[in-house]
Amino acid sequence: MTMNFTSCPRVSFDFSGRFLPPVYILVFIVGLVANGWGLKSLLHNWKKLGNINVFVLNLGLADVLYLLTLPFLVVYYLMGSKWIFGDVFCKITRFCFNLNLYGSIGFLTCISVYRYLAIVHPVRVMGRITVLHSVGISVLVWLLVSIQIVPDMFFSKTFGNKTGKCYDTTGKKHVEDYLKYSLGWTLTGFWIPFLIALGCYGHVIVVLCRTNTNNVLKQRSLRLLFILILLFSVCYIPYHVLKNLNLWSRVLSKQRKCCKWFDGVYIAHQISRGLVCLNSALNPLVYLHGDEHIPAQLRQLILQARETFRRLSNSSSVPVAQTTVEV
């Protein structure tokens, strides 16, 4: 890693303005449709899902809360990163993002633990875990996530709007302190829950492979494990790694220790920000996977779309009758 102590070259901040708005618009549309469909499916299969339905409901509510803030972020980036909605709403917007992100991780972890207990220790937990327990644990998850987020609210996001920015982390002045906070936050809010969830599903798969259980249960558990790996590997891991790496590059830049990889890290971090917001569109897979009617419904929608497209194509290709005029 080569460093020099001259003034650092300018990082191409324009990339976020080109990349993030289309991603946010796509996630907003797909996320609202998927979560609406998913919550409807959840209510329809409330008893079938068991005690995890409380966690799934909270997961959906966290997604909807974040999705409602995306139009404001689209306006922000389309205006060239000029925040016009005030300092308070900037912090509320960033708070909703973090609440959704770490709430989602927390509830996915709870679902993993519940599935582990139900499959690996069914006799011990039968009748002992009630809906009231799930509600209490959900309240605890919201509380712990909020406690982790609160320090972020004390870091300046707009600096009185002198720069016009609405920082997702903080400005240059306190970036060193924010890096320390972010590293601790990443450990407690992401890595520990991730290892717990991975350990639970890893043990579940081992137990299912060793015992003669029905194939439906195996398939559902494997699908949930796949969804979990997809969410963490695509949405969560790149974001947390690149977020802290980008903060570190900002600290080095502030100290005039310049590296060639600064620009690349910034661009990669913006891509990871786009990927992490996809969790709001992918989370519905958690509660849609348990509904055996979903594949049939998807096939029906695809067939209807094909039929509609075929009709439109045929109507547009019908030749127009020509009239001849005899002179």
Nearest to 282 by CA among 31, 37, 24, 28: 31
pLDDT at 114 exceeding the cut of 90: no
309, two tokens: 């497209």
d(CA 134, CA 111) in angstroms, rounded, equals: 10
Q: What is the CATH number of the domain that holds 221?
A: 1.20.1070.10
Give me the pLDDT at residue 191, please. Answer: 95
pLDDT at 298 exceeding the cut of 60: no
Give me the pLDDT at residue 274, please. Answer: 93
Nearest to 107 by CA among 256, 286, 247: 286
Give me the pLDDT at residue 7, please. Answer: 56
321 confidence band (pLDDT: 50, 70, 90):
very low
Give me the pLDDT at residue 247, please. Answer: 95
Taking residues 142-146, report their average pLDDT: 95
Does residue 314 lie in a domain region?
Answer: no
268 confidence band (pLDDT: 50, 70, 90):
very high
What amino acid occupies position 169? T
Give me the pLDDT at residue 66, please. Answer: 93
Cα 218–chain centre separation: 26
Give me the pLDDT at residue 20, please. Answer: 93
Does residue 22 lie in a domain region?
Answer: yes
Contacts of 204 by beta carbon, 8 Å cutoff, 6+ apart = 115, 116, 119, 120, 221, 225
Taken as a whole, the chain contains a residue count of 327
pLDDT at 224 exceeding the cut of 80: no
Does residue 38 lie in a domain region?
Answer: yes
Average pLDDT, the chain: 82
Helices (H), 187-322: 192-210, 215-230, 237-254, 262-276, 279-282, 284-288, 294-316
Taking residues 141-151, report their average pLDDT: 95
For 243-264, what is each residue's pLDDT tens digit?
999 999 999 988 888 888 888 8
For 155-214, what is each residue's pLDDT tens digit?
988 865 566 789 999 988 899 999 999 999 999 999 999 999 989 888 888 887 787 766
Residue ranges making up the domain that contains 20: 14-296
d(CA 101, CA 59) in angstroms, rounded, equals: 10
Separation in Å, CA 304 to CA 127, 158, 294, 295: 44, 48, 15, 14
d(CA 54, CA 49) in angstroms, rounded, equals: 9
Does residue 326 lie in a domain region?
Answer: no
Taking residues 82-111, report their average pLDDT: 92
Does residue 309 lie in a domain region?
Answer: no
Give me the pLDDT at residue 164, please. Answer: 78
84, two tokens: 């016009």
Going by the DSSP 8-state scheme, the letter that residue 155 receives in this structure is S
Give per-residue burial for 90-129: e unless 16+ CB within 10 Å, then b: bbebbbbbbbbbbbbbbbbbbbbbbbbbbbeeeeeeeeeb
Does residue 3 lie in a domain region?
Answer: no
Give me the pLDDT at residue 30, please. Answer: 92
123 confidence band (pLDDT: 50, 70, 90):
confident
Does residue 4 lie in a domain region?
Answer: no
pLDDT at 311 exceeding the cut of 80: no
Give me the pLDDT at residue 16, please. Answer: 86
Give me the pLDDT at residue 63, please. Answer: 92
For 7-46, what is each residue's pLDDT tens digit?
566 666 778 888 999 999 999 999 999 888 888 877 776 7
Total tally of structural domains belonging to the chain: 1
290 confidence band (pLDDT: 50, 70, 90):
low
Give me the pLDDT at residue 146, please. Answer: 94
pLDDT at 323 exceeding the cut of 50: no
Does residue 209 lie in a domain region?
Answer: yes
